[in-house]
Each structure stands twice: as structure tokens, then as C-alpha cells.
Amino acid sequence: MQLKIKHIQTILFLWMIATNSFCQTRNSEEPIEPDFLQGIYGKDTLVDHVLDNREKYRFQFMLTEIVGTDSTLYLGKTHDFSVPQWYFYPASMVKLPTALLSLEKLNEIGFSTQAILKFNQDFECGNMRFIDESRRSNLTFEKMIRELIIVSNNTYYNSLYHFLTPQRINKELLQKELSQTKIYKDFSGCEIPLNLRTHSFTVEEQKSEKTFKQEESHLELIEFAQNYRYDPTKLMGSKNEYRGDIVDGPFDFNYNLEYPLNDIHSTTMRLFFPAFFNENQRWNIREKDRELLIEAMKSVPSDLGEKKYFDQRKYPDNLYKYIVHGDGNTQFDDVLTYGKIGISYGFVTESAYVVDPKTGKRFVLTASMYVNSNDTVNDGKYEYEEIARPFLARFGQLILER
């Protein structure tokens, strides 16, 4: 997927687009602009219901219009309805920057995505499956990244988290001006201090004898704490599940994963349209690795080619594609969505580059919402299928129909 920009585009124009598009935020009480609502409001009762109750569902979104043709694309208007004061748990959304930063590191150390990653076990903590699997199979970065994106594989996220280390992840994000994002945990179930330690490993290039070794690492707890500020608005819910029981009181999301909507939207934009960003903001990855990641974001589970993923009951094509395709409406089968989704604790967040080959319409939509009607956090009872999936599907469809 090549992006060509006409030479008549001036540096000033690009600067204005880059600075203005991603810096404006609105108060949650402000109405959605009438010109954006035209063609959306009044067409679907569920969509109307969520838009009328944005605060209840903590619904926020950013949408950037992409204009032009395959040979010449421009950034159009960005509609910014993010609400920074509304925390949401990003869940598997953090896998996208983790994959990008892993590709950057491979580029830096001179290894391909066919290289094999093998871990040592330097300490005991939580689910150690990622270490065991790296030892008994030739686990390539290509396999990890594809499954990480396509079926949201937690084991491979843990592998890449330890490959990178939290020090590198957060340092690189800060340097790229994604300053509000904080990724200091894997999904192995460890407590905070052990989440700041990573295991040693070896990377082996299959077609040569070249190897890369990295020792275990340890980030000091005080350095971790300095990057956070306690926020009482991150205490959510009237009840929460604790060690198998439902107890009174909110769930505390302080000192957890943070990946605000603006940073998520910018991550996706930089992947698909790097020419519109300053060099220090771009992902420093090889073009073939960029194409690998983009293809994974378009793919469905059966594209992995493994027998278990051909089971359409467990792994339907739209399993992790809510925007446009979530409701299975065949009218939109030809629409391509390149995306990543995060689902947990009642939060649903998705970022997708949407392309309609028939009409030529394109946009990048990043949206987050909260579906937890019983106000109990961590009980596993959320309205993903009843509200989030059909809403995001229809919302994306109505944008295409505008």
C-alpha cells in the first residue's frame, strides 16, 4: 500500500494538518457538530440512543477523513470528540504499539521477522506460557505479530513485552510524543513490581548463525511511580469482583495501562500515513514489516491457516472487527477495515482504517465506549454483544453512507 503525495502539497499545509488535526478536544457536554450528525442521527435507534447518552456510555471518538484516490491521498478534516478526562482501560489496544516497537527494535538490531525468540526463565511470576512456548517451538516474530493482531494472542503480547522491556516501550513512546501512553504491564497476571522485570532471551536468525542476547532487566518501582499521578476519577463502579466475591466499592484503575484516544488515533495514522508526520514521530520500521502489520490488521482468523481458526462458530470473520462489520450486514462485505480492538472490564476500544472500494470513501475511526449496566467491575457481565458490537458496526456504516 503505497502513499504518494503531490509535490504541490506545501510544508505549511502538512504542518497545519498534523498540528490541528490531533490537538483539539471537546468537553463531553458539547453537542456533536451538526454537519457531522447529518446522515447519521435519526437513522438507527441504537445509534441515536448512545449519542443521546454519551456520558453514560463514555462514548468518545476521533475520525479523520481521507480524500483522494489510490495514487494520491490527502488528510481531510478530523472530527475530534475525545474526552481526555474519561479514562478507559485500553486492554489489547496496547498490542498495536507493542508490535510496532518490536518491529523497530528488529530493524535496529538487524534481524528479520523470521528470526526466532527463545526465553530463559529468570524468575517465577504468573502465567509462564510464553517462556515455555518459546523453548519448545521455533517461535518467529512474524507468527507472534500476526496472531497478536488477528486473534489478539495474549501469550505473544507477553513475549514482545519482555523482548522490548517496559523501559524501552515507554521511552520510545515519549520520544515519539505519545506522552500520555503508559505501558508497564504484560498480561501474565503479575503484581506491579514483577511486571517491571523482564526475562533474558536470545534471538536467532534462521538463515544464518547470527544471534542477539539480552539480559534480564528490572525497572525500579520509584521510576515507575514517578510516571503516574493518582486520579480519583479512575475509581470506577459501585461494586467490583474481588477474589471470587462481589464487594461494595469501586474498582481502582490507577497505575494501570493508559492509552488515551488521541494517542491511539495517532498511532494508526502514523502507520498508514507516515508522510504526514515529522520524522521523529514516524514508526522506524522497514517497508516490508509495515506491509506485514497492515496485512494482519486487515486479516480474519481463518487467514492464519490453522485448523482451529476455521471454526466459524468460535472464530467468525468479524470476531475482532466491530466497526462496520460487527453486525454481519452483508451489504458491507466489500468494505475493508484495517484495525485493532481492545475489550475488557466493559470497555470496548477500536481503531480502524476503513476503505470502501465501491465508493472510494476512506476514513480512520478510533472509538471507545463503556457497556456495564450493573455498574459492577470485573464480574464478566457486560453488554458487548447487545450494545457495543451492533452500535460500532452501525456507526461505521452510517459514516460510510453520509
16 falls in which pLDDT band (50, 70, 90)?
very low
| Phi (first) and psi of residue 43, to 5 degrees | -105, -20
pLDDT in tens, 66-117: 998 878 899 999 999 999 999 999 999 999 999 999 999 999 999 999 999 9
pLDDT in tens, 305-332: 999 999 999 999 999 999 999 999 999 9
Rounded alpha-carbon distances, angstroms, from residue 33 to 25, 51, 108, 342 = 13, 12, 44, 27
Predicted local distance difference test score (pLDDT) of residue 209? 86
pLDDT in tens, 151-169: 999 999 999 999 999 999 9
Write b or e for each residue in 331-354: b if 16 or more Cβ atoms lie within 10 A of its Cβ, otherwise e: ebeebbbbbbbbbbbbbbbbbbbb
Q: Tell me the C-alpha distance between 294 and 338, whole Å.
A: 7
The answer to whether 52 touches 31, Cβ cutoff 8 Å, is no
pLDDT at 13 over 90: no
Q: Tell me the C-alpha distance between 262 and 363, whole Å.
A: 16
State pTM to two decimals: 0.92
Q: Tell me the C-alpha distance between 348 and 188, whole Å.
A: 21
C-alpha cell belonging to residue 1? 500500500
